[in-house]
Chains A and B, each alone.
Chain A
């Protein structure tokens, strides 16, 4: 049924130069949209405190306690910094929890408008829904990337500047911060002290197993302070044995008496930022798809703490390609050398992981980021507001 109210009044309409320039139907977000979204996230006090507590607070507090303890009782508590602390904090805390907090931020970014009733207001402006979605990406990354960087910087600073400065091993003064060749060179110059004071593990069938330079006739596991060898030892053989022992001891030496190199720190920083970026993007897409945060965050935690470690270590013959498609496994393959394996274990434990090439790992990561972005944006475009 159609009944018109009355004669239609003289139409009034507005159009102006600004409207002509207002490309709100385009999918590209404006700087103002990104800034506004960033402000919305930044003002979520509880979320920001939680993010800062995990990414900055945990390493900062842990290192602060170590600094205090070392300052108070240096003989009981080792230095706060050093390579070992660095790898432990980066792989054990920043990598795993950085992913989870980034995912939480992404999930909040993706669902807050919906759950708080603001999505409708934005849609009514006529702005492209894709642009509304895309504006969330730089806004969220502008929070999580600096936070992770801040936590990582604290770790780097403490691990470098509070690394051990000297090693006095049963009267042997070993210089710190030596590269492996430098350490071996130093060992050659101090062969007698090295052979007699530093630990080693040489069996009868190993090189130098029957060397007359080895201390004592019986044991082949070096014990510092052991009596010098009874048989005269040619200087050349002694130097070679010292170099061999230095090579054997270097990993232990490096773990404690070395701080991370600049190149390792740069690579590690980029690696954990990549992990945070992945966590944020997946969290954003997943929560946009689901329309809520809680389940998205739970699924992300399950992915990081349960699915990824299993997929990395359990080699299931018929599911090996499926395992390779897990994004967490792909990022472990991009881990810089010299770090221990994620989810527990030393550097050599990475050899036990399901293998995949770097190209495949990069493709898997790109696929996850692009895939979840497309899914999230698609749901945002098709969702009833």
Chain B
């Protein structure tokens, strides 16, 4: 996917709200089942925002409510500062979205499908069809019938459809689905390039590694409720730090660390130790551990602080929820 600028981009001017998406007490029920439970969400403009949650957590339902595909049962929401559904048409004029698996008319070509969608938008949308197809790497297959497209190609066509409206906000539901590793890489780059242009991208995904690589901020949703949200760096800063130590005489090393007065939990490993330090532990503590071991003639082969991952954080958060 190449990075090209869409034509007819209009000058950006400040809008009323700093938030691309803002919900308050948003609720959606299906009978007894509460799919979206009083969700409070604020997505800042100009970032890539991940919306994470296990299957059935209500991710897609929230997106459908935001886009007016289904009605909310309570609460308020706004897209790009426009209250929805009151100013829905105005809000969605600058929103592009893929919800669930992107499906199109199979008997039409990719270009013809985009022509259909462009006809529902402003006139300039028709002029963005070619650049949008080029941008998602479908320029050469644009005149093939969609029935012949692979899942990944349809996913790209869905992104191209999003770009027709020169959107300020893109909402992508599981955009990595069906993509091979190269496709995922391209999609990641494209999302970042869209963010670099000042657009906001909200994506829901269960591929935590991809989200961590792509997004600036995330929210975790579980059973319809947003349980955590924030910038990824801020959230991960609140997690425990694991230091892996490969050394001689692990038994003695364990005792030395425990006696050093460091607040840590030490686990014996076949080749050394795994030391878990509490959140917010500074680098000085790691240096202290190193010094203690070396001073007591323990041969250090490797000492590696393990970067906390979104996945481990996600599992910590969700496991705590499970315990509670």
Residues on A close to B: CB < 8 A?
A: 1-6, 8-16, 18-19, 22, 24-25, 30, 32-33, 35-37, 39-40, 43-45, 112, 116-118, 120-128, 132, 384-385
Contacts and interface: CB of A to CB of B under 8 A. Distances in A.
A125 B94 CA distance: 8
B97 A124 contact: yes
B117 A125 contact: yes
Given A12-B198, A18-B123, A124-B67, A5 B112 contact: no
Contact of B119 (A4, A30, A123): A30
Contacts of B15: 11-13, 15
Contact of A40 (B94, B108, B226, B231): B108
Nearest to A6: B231
A7 to B, nearest CB: 8
B104 A117 contact: yes
Contact of A126 (B89, B100, B119): B89
Contacts of B47: 5, 9
Contacts of A45: 107
Interface of B: 8-15, 17-19, 40, 42-47, 49, 64, 67-71, 80-81, 88-97, 99-108, 112-113, 115-124, 126, 161, 165-166, 168, 198, 216-217, 225-231, 234
Contacts of B10: 14-16, 18-19
Contact of A14 (B100, B103, B166): B166
Nearest to A36: B119
Nearest to A30: B119
Given A6-B234, A11-B15, A118 B69 contact: no
Nearest to B38: A1
B94 A14 contact: yes
Contacts of B91: 126
6 contacts: A5-B216, A9-B45, A117-B103, A123-B67, A125-B120, A384-B71
A125 B121 contact: yes
B10 to A, nearest CB: 3
Contacts, number: 187
A32 B94 CA distance: 19
Given A1-B227, A18-B10, A124-B69, A24 B106 contact: no
A385 B70 contact: yes
Residue of A9, A33, A128 contacting most chain B CB atoms (<10 Å) = A9
A285 B139 CA distance: 37
A12 B115 contact: no
A26 to B, nearest CB: 9
A121 B230 contact: no
Residue of A5, A35, A116, A385 contacting most chain B CB atoms (<10 Å) = A5
B110 to A, nearest CB: 13
A166 B118 CA distance: 60
A39 B161 contact: no
Residue of A15, A24, A25, A385 contacting most chain B CB atoms (<10 Å) = A15
A71 to B, nearest CB: 41
A194 B65 CA distance: 83
A287 to B, nearest CB: 16
A25 B19 CA distance: 23
Given A24-B121, A112-B105, A126-B90, 4 more contacts: A5-B231, A8-B42, A25-B89, A385-B64
B107 A11 contact: no
Contacts of A127: 89, 120-121
Given A18-B123, A18-B124, A43-B107, A118 B116 contact: yes
A4 B104 contact: no
Contact of A11 (B17, B88, B117, B123): B17
A384 B60 CA distance: 13
A271 to B, nearest CB: 33
Given A13-B80, A30-B119, A43-B108, A126 B17 contact: no
B89 A128 contact: yes
Residue of A12, A35, A39, A40 contacting most chain B CB atoms (<10 Å) = A12
A118 B104 contact: yes
A-B pairs, 9 with minimum CB distance: A117-B103, A13-B15, A126-B92, A16-B10, A25-B89, A8-B18, A36-B119, A5-B217, A385-B69
A4 B40 CA distance: 10
B88 A126 contact: yes
Nearest to B162: A124
Contact of A16 (B11, B115, B121): B11
A39 B116 CA distance: 9
A32 B88 contact: no
